[in-house]
Structures are given as C-alpha cells and as structure tokens.
Structure 1
Amino acid sequence: MSRLDQAPARRARRLRSAAALGLAVALAGAGCAGPDTAAVLPKAAAPTSPLPTVPPAQPPQQLSREKIDTAVDKLDGIVQDAMRRTGVPGVAVGVVHDDEVLYMEGFGTRKAGTKSKISPDTVFQLASVSKPVASTVVAAAVGDETVGWDDPVVKYTPRFALKDPWVTDHVTLADLFSHRSGLPDHAGDLLEDLGFDRTYILEHLRYEPLAPFRASYAYTNFGLTAAAEAVAQASDTSWEKLSADKLYGPLGMDSTSSSFGDYEKAENKAVGHVREGDAWKAEFVRDAEAQSPAGGASSTVRDMTKFLRLQLGNGKFDGKQVVEAEALDETHLPHIVSEPPHAPAGRTGFYGLGWNVGYDDQGRLKLSHSGAFALGAATNVTMLPSENLGIVILTNGMPVGVPEAIASTFLDTVQTGGPTVDWLKFIGPLLEQAAAGDRSETNYAKPPADAAPAKADDTYTGTYANDFYGPMTVSAEGEGLVMQLGPKKLKFRLRHYDGDTFSYRTVGENAVGLSGVTFTVDSSGRADKVRVESLDHNKLGTFTRQ
C-alpha cells in the first residue's frame, strides 16, 4: 500500500502536546493580528507579525498598573466566555505583577458531572509547562556549580548515546533543553505509549535518526528528559527529589511534584477530560512519569504564581536568591530558531531553554510555554519580564485553545483595552487541523470494494524482533489475529483490510485512530516482516520474524 509510505512526510506531529502551542501566544501583543495570520501551517500554532525595530530613544511605554488592573477585572468574564464556548470543565488562573499576586481564581469542576469545585489549590497536571519548571531546576544546579549549561550529557551519564558518536560526545544540557540535538520530533514518545519506562526509552534514543546537530529544531520530550536525568545524576539524587530540593521546597510550592504518584493521591485534583461531540468525559488517566522533567509535573495555580514571582524576580523569592540570576537568565535567551516566518512580514519564533522566546510589537521580550495532553490537559504560562507581568492558566480538558486564548486576550486587554483577535476562534481550528493531520490517509474503517482476501492465520502468526520497540507477537485468538507489543504485552486486535494489510486501533497519548499493519510474505509462504504504520514515522516500525 503506497499510501502507507507517505505517512512520515504527512505528519506535522504533535502540535497537541508540543511547544508549538506556545507560539500562538506570541501573537498576543498590541496590534499583533495581521494579514499573515491566514497563512498558518499545521505545525505552527501561529505566524506572527514582523519583529519590531524600536529606536533606543523611544523605548516601549511601560504598562500602567491601571491598565493591568482593568484587564484583571475583566478576567472572570474572559475565562467564563472561553468555558461557555468550549465546555472545558475546569480552569484555574493566576496573575502576578510587580511580585504581587493580583488574581487567583478557580472555575468549574474537577470532574464533569460532579460538584467538586476548582479552587486555587486544585492540583492539575502541567503537561509541557513542566519544561520551564525543569529548566529552572537545572538553572539552580548551574548556579550552585553542580553542572554547567554547556556540559556534555555524557559527563554525567556515560551510558547516554545518540546515533552519531560525535554528537553523543558533544551534545550538551543546553542542546537538549533547546531541542537542537538533531533528535527527531517527539523522539521516544511512542515507546512511552507502549508502556516502556524512562530508562528503556532513554537508552533507545540511540536508534533514532539525527538531523544536523545544532542546526535544526525538533521538539523532544525525552531529549530534554535525558538532560534533566544527567543533572540528577550529577547531583547524586533522583529528578523528583532534585526538583523538590532546588525549587518546590525553597518556594513553598507544597502542592507541586514531579512524581505522578503524588498527583494521583492528591484529594483536590483535577482529572483529565476529552471531548466527544459536545460532551466532556473523564475517560483516561495520563501517567507521564517516564518523561517527568518534560511533561510529568503537577501543580496548583497558587504554587505557579510563586514560580512566576521567581521568574520575574530574576531568581529571587521573598528577598532570597533561590536561583542564581545569570543561570536563570540563560533560560530566557533565544537558543534556536523554532519557527521561521511563513511570509516576508512574518515574525520569527525562538526557543530558549525550556521556554518559547519571542518579542511583541513593542519589542518587549515575551516568554511562554503551553502544555497539552490529548488525554485531557491544557496549560499555559506567559510572561512579559520587562513589565514584571505574568499569567498562568491550568485546565483539565484536552487542548482546544482555552489557555492560549485566555492568555492572549488578557495581554491584549492590558495593552489595548480589549482583544485584537477572537483568539479562541483563531487558535481552536489550528489545533483541530493539526490533530486531523496526525491520522492516516487510509480509511481503514472501510475496506476497498475489491479487497484481496487474507491468507491463512499461520501465514502471519509468530514472533517478530525490533531493536527499538522490542519483540512483537502475532497470534490467532478467537476468529482473528491479535498483535502484542511492549513490556506490558498490550494486545491489539487486527482486522483485515486488504490482502496482507490489517488495521488496529492505536492507544495512548499519541493515538491516531485506526492505523495499518502490513505483512510481507516471502517465497516460503510465510510472513517474514511486518510494518506497523503508526510506529514507522522515523523508519523504525518494521519487525522481522525471529
């Protein structure tokens, strides 16, 4: 089936859980809506207007406290409008200005259909907002001279390896935190979906193909996790404890953790929801323990306002220098172009160390990051450091644009008195477009009218090997075939599609609906190879009969 081979080129994979979501927020400056907003590509959450040139003699006018207070007064309505239009069950929002918490509110319910209210102390999964949290933990270790941003990862984790030995020896903590190592987009995530743990996934990054080192950007949860693990090794502790010791403890972020177990046992926690039609349902539990530094932290809006105060205070909190300023400042600088402009007048997007780095139409530095679980979470944090202003939004629904729209509308309101764009209407379709782009071109739910019959079951049954994904077993169960994958021996029923091609329903964070499984039958009349379409984005999805 030639269409199956087109899958890797088609995928603008995984906007729904990527930092690209944060690029939408880069539009939220004064007058940011421009003609090129219609030219958005699926992989980019938003194009932006031109980078400004602000003459030194005419610096941007500082936002007045009056304007900020006016925008804060409108936040209840902004949040409620987004919830009404999307149905997202629960939202919590916090705003910090000049080291003061101006706003901290919860809306909706922790679980749809219950009376469990969201409060500022409700624990949410942060998803990829874990990344700027993680880079702050590493900045604290850099400030303590435990590690340096430019230290090679192999200095602390000798078993770490990538496909190219030279890159293995030279890739640094900063390279992996800025997604410029050459690892492909979301490398290792599919192993997580199959149930492999952090150790296995990090050790198997060596099989992933590499793009040019330090010359290309590709968002990788497990690349960043590898760097964070190296810092934990250098500190002779676990990542979970290092995070608590360096950041959560000193800031009094008592409800924040990098352990999924702590989220699970929290009584006041928001559970994840997915949207099915017009209904929101709490159907899945997203355990991101394997990628904890990149996506596995959990927190409350109350705690995250403390995090904002630290960031905007150059590493100080309540008068104490918790994180050395220079080490923290390095995380806020551009380290790689993450989003080239899509038009001559487009604005360039950058990635720092765990942050999307951009500039608004007044030339002000803007730092942001979004987080998203397709299984039920969407979050955002956005800051204008020169204004000492930051906002954090946590939600318990799959990504439909709510946190980004709230952040963008708030910042627009601060600067112009109201939104310059209907941000929810703008961002939501981008996410839908990206999610649709993840699915197979082949409609496996409807076999072709002239479909060739399958061969006998024993043509396909047996055990197949794969260095990356481990063994796969195909067996006959009941009236059909079952494929078994991963350490937990997940079972997937194969349904015949056409000839030697079957379909199965994908599961996990990266599920894409029905996908294909194609056997290659040799001259002996038995299948000697099988290609799993949804696992083959980096040409690693072919299994060979043992």
Structure 2
Amino acid sequence: MAVAIIQNDTVVYEKCFGVINLTTQEPVNADTRFQLASISKSFTTATIASMVGTGDLAWDDSAVEINPDLQFSDPWITEHVTIRDLLSHRTGLPEYAGDELAEFGYNRSETLFKLRYLALTGAFRSSYAYSNLGITAAAETAAIKAGIPWDELISERIFIPAGMTNSSAVFSDFAEAENHADTYVVTNGVAEQTAVLFNDDANSPAGGVSSTLNDMIRYLRLQLNDGNLDGVQVIDASALSETHKAQNILLSDYTTISAYGLGWDVVSADGRVRVEHGGDFTSGVSTLITLYPAEGMGIVVLTNGFPGGHVLKKAVVRGWEDMYFTGSVQNDWYAEIEEEINAAMEPGSSVLSPYSTLPEAPENASSPRDLVNYCGSYYQDYYGTITVEEGDSGLNLYLGPAEMQYVLTPYDGDAFYEPTTGTGVYFTFDSDENVQSVNITMLDLPGRTGVFTLI
C-alpha cells in the first residue's frame, strides 16, 4: 500500500507499506507502479478538459457527429448524446454493461460497436447507471477529434506536461515494469496472488491507467491547483473545474448532496465538499483519491489487494477525514466497510456478485440426452458466437474471442450447472427433438440476454 496527503501544494504525509510480491518480499516504494482501476476516469476527463480549454472540443458536442460509429439502440439518443452525457453516467445504458465483453476477449472497437445491441434501462439525462463503456466511448470520440490514438492523447495532454514519467494508459507498460505491484485476492487476512494480471486495455479510459505514488502526488497537486503545476498551466482552470461540479444528482436531502461530476464523485455533507473516485479490480486492485477543494487538501491510497484493499483504502481515508476535521476517529470504519463489502459479495446482491445460484439438483433429476445433442455453435448479436462441445465431465462451453472455457455438468434433463458462478444453462429443443437455443443465465444481465440461437 502507498499513501500520500498534500495540503496547499505541500506533501504533509507520504508512506509506503508492504511488498509488491509476497514471494520476493520486495518492498513497495514511491516509484512502484500500481493499477489505478477507475481512478482512470478522472484522467480521461482531465484529458478532455485539456481539449476543451484549448477549444478543440466542447463538453456539449454531439458525440455521433465526431464518431459516427457510436450507435445506441435508440436512434434519438444516438443523435442527441453528448460528451457530457457519456462522462456523467446519464445515457440510460445499463450499469456496468460491456465490462464482460472485455473479459471475453473483445477489443475496444468491438466492444463499442456492440453498444448498439444493448437495451437501455434508464431514462436519458434523468437517471444514473455507472458505465465504463460510456467513459470509453467519450474518450474514443475525443481521440478521433484529436486524430491520434487514446493512449497517445492522454500522454500528450496529461502525463508528459504534468511530469508523470511513470504513468501510462497501456497495460504492457504496467506489466513489463520491473517495479510493479503484483495483485492479490485478500480475504480474511489471507492473500492469494492473481494468476494473470488483469488487462483492461479494452476499457483503458475507464480503468486502464497505472501510476506511482510520486506521480499521483503530482496529479493531486494538478487537480487542486486549478490545472497548474510548477507554474505551468497544464489544463485550463475553468475546464478542469467543470469536472469537479455535480452533473448528475444521485441523492439530495436536507443534509447531503451526492452526485456524479465528470469522472468524479461529488459529495457535499457535514458542511464540506469532497470530490473523489475509487477504483477496484476483483483481481486484486483497490485505490482511492479524494480532494477537499476548500481546504486545498487531497489524499490518495493505492493498494494491490481486493477485497481487503477496498476495506483498507476507505478506512484510511475516512479515518483521516475524521482526524482532520474533528480531532479523533469517530467510527470503526474498518469494521463498517468490511461488513458492507462482504454483503455486496453475497450471491445475487450486487454487481460484485450478480448471480442467483441454483439450489441442489432434485433427487429425481432426469439424465441429460446424449451429450452430442447439445453440441454446436450458437449466436446472438451482443455476446457473439459460443461453441458447445463434449467434455470429460459434461459439456465444455467456449465464449468470446478469448474462448473462455466453462465446464457444464448435468443438473436436470436439459439443464446444466456452471460451477464457477453457480448458475444454470438451459437448452431448448423443438418438436423434432433438435436443439434450437441455449440460455446461459449468468449472461442474463440488465439490457442484455443470455439466449443464443443455434447456427
């Protein structure tokens, strides 16, 4: 873990804890690269703010006029959606839609093309649903306007002028760096290293930036100094300020306003405003950056563990906030946040665990047909083609360009069980006993269906 606090452009706390790898025991230092996950969104909006400040783009520009390939399932929304809409999670896209496509091996352009097959689940400009795909769509639109790839644009507009020499929006730059933090799933104090580092290049504008504590200190200063760093105006102050303003209200009552800005959460509570964003990969990344603009103060926490790191980052920031504003810690934040994340990981309870699991198979369960009857290729527009083949213990299902393998074991008749998610897979046959379709229930998610037709 690495933590830094700045106030009035001065570092008031900076410390690194732990190791980058449990086997080598090499310690974390201020130049260790961490994956930032969704803190990346603020880098995307900072990049676009830079373009707004130089007159190359406007927040309310039509996205489709710049990027004609950007198509929603509703043509009216396609025609009217703006850069601001995409960056503030108010397009009506389903929550987290598209994330699974990257996991299945689809690249960025393929994933963005499939946006047109998503049924919209929210009201345009009057609803909120967190959308990595929307952020990526805005970034790609900006890159088209600039005439260069996204990773070059963010480097040219932010990393280079801000002197962030160990930051990148390309996964290989992180993975190949000798001093990078390997990732761990940390549960109940036990850490297990992730077999493969998570590559988020497909959604890099939403989650693919990596950086170091030293670079993030520079980033905190940039954000808190109205886009100015060491006397250089990296981003126009007015354009950057717009990213910190509420664009989409989530909650408003007598004591609290909670909103999404442009790549930032904006919260007004307890008589003060904080602008922040967290990031999480279930593969073993958890990060948090919080700005207190009125106090000229900011804090960043980088960890290479999940869900343990998620608990730790929030407890550190909320504890520091208590200490600074009241003089003492007001709550057992670690216990409270741990309870919240454990509840969120219960099956079917949240995006972290969206699946409702099957019960035990009935005692009188029917045997499946000969397995060859289920085999073949099936298709739908959004998820693409899947292949089902006979396997050693049932059926093998292969999904996406990555051909991710899922083993399906017999459950009851034409129903099979997928053990990693605990969900069902159901085949449908016609009156001539020929297979017609399959419903993969782990893919039955808001705005998309898990039904595939035999081809």
Length-normalised TM-score, structure 1:
0.79
Letter in 1 for 2:222: L
Q: Provide closer, same or farther for how the CA distance between residues 384 and 276 of structure 1 changes in structure 2, counting only shifts above 3 A.
A: closer
Higher strand share: 2
1:123 aligns with 2:33: yes
Match of 2:201 among 278, 284, 289: 289
Match of 1:473 among 387, 402, 405: 387
User: CA-to-partner distance for each residue in 1:270-302, whole Å, 9 max, x for gaps?
Assistant: 011002554201124111111101000000111
1:184 aligns with 2:111: no
Letter in 1 for 2:263: G
Letter in 2 for 1:294: A
Partner of 1:441: 356
User: CA-to-partner distance for each residue in 1:187-229, whole Å, 9 max, x for gaps?
Assistant: 1011111111111100001111112110110001111100001
**Do 1:112 and 1:281's aligned partners in 2 also have CA atoms closer than 8 Å?**
no
Correspondences of 1:270-419 after superposition (within 5 Å): 270-276=181-187, 278-284=189-195, 285-338=197-250, 340=251, 347-362=256-271, 364-400=272-308, 401-419=311-329
Moved over 6 A (4+): none
Q: How far apart, in 1, do the equivalents of 2:234 and 2:189 lie?
A: 45
**Do 1:382 and 1:390's aligned partners in 2 also have CA atoms closer than 8 Å?**
yes
Partner of 2:178: 267
Correspondences of 1:153-302 after superposition (within 5 Å): 153-210=63-120, 211-276=122-187, 278-284=189-195, 285-302=197-214
Aligned-pair identity (%): 39
Partner of 1:146: 56
Match of 1:427 among 337, 360, 364: 337
**Do 1:519 and 1:531's aligned partners in 2 also have CA atoms closer than 8 Å?**
yes
Match of 1:524 among 419, 432, 435: 432
User: CA-to-partner distance for each residue in 1:141-189, whole Å, 9 max, x for gaps?
Assistant: 1111111111111122111100111100111111011000110000101
Residue aligned with 1:311, SS: helix
Deviation at 1:443, TM superposition (A): 3.7
Correspondences of 1:65-76 after superposition (within 5 Å): none
Deviation at 1:529, TM superposition (A): 1.0
Partner of 1:103: 13
Q: Provide closer, same or farther for how the CA distance between residues 207 and 527 of structure 1 changes in structure 2, counting only shifts above 3 A.
A: same
Q: How far apart, in 2, do the equivalents of 1:418 and 1:399 lie?
A: 26
User: CA-to-partner distance for each residue in 1:49-72, whole Å, 9 max, x for gaps?
Assistant: xxxxxxxxxxxxxxxxxxxxxxxx
Residue aligned with 2:263, SS: coil
Q: How far apart, in 2, do the equivalents of 1:159 and 1:273 lie?
A: 38
Partner of 2:442: 534
Deviation at 1:345, TM superposition (A): 6.2
Gaps in structure 1 of 5+ consecutive residues: 1-90, 507-512
Deviation at 1:102, TM superposition (A): 1.7
Residue aligned with 2:409, SS: strand
Q: Provide closer, same or farther for how the CA distance between residues 425 and 478 of structure 1 changes in structure 2, counting only shifts above 3 A.
A: closer
Q: How far apart, in 1, do the equivalents of 2:431 and 2:396 lie?
A: 24
User: CA-to-partner distance for each residue in 1:67-90, whole Å, 9 max, x for gaps?
Assistant: xxxxxxxxxxxxxxxxxxxxxxxx
Partner of 1:44: none
Correspondences of 1:14-29 after superposition (within 5 Å): none
Q: Provide closer, same or farther for how the CA distance between residues 479 and 94 of structure 1 changes in structure 2, counting only shifts above 3 A.
A: closer
User: CA-to-partner distance for each residue in 1:362-395, whole Å, 9 max, x for gaps?
Assistant: 2x22101100001100000001101000000000
Match of 2:407 among 473, 478, 493: 493
Q: How far apart, in 2, do the equivalents of 1:489 and 1:375 lie?
A: 19
1:458 aligns with 2:368: no
Equivalenced residue count is: 445
Between 1 and 2, higher relative CO (CA 8 Å, sep ≥ 6) is seen in 1
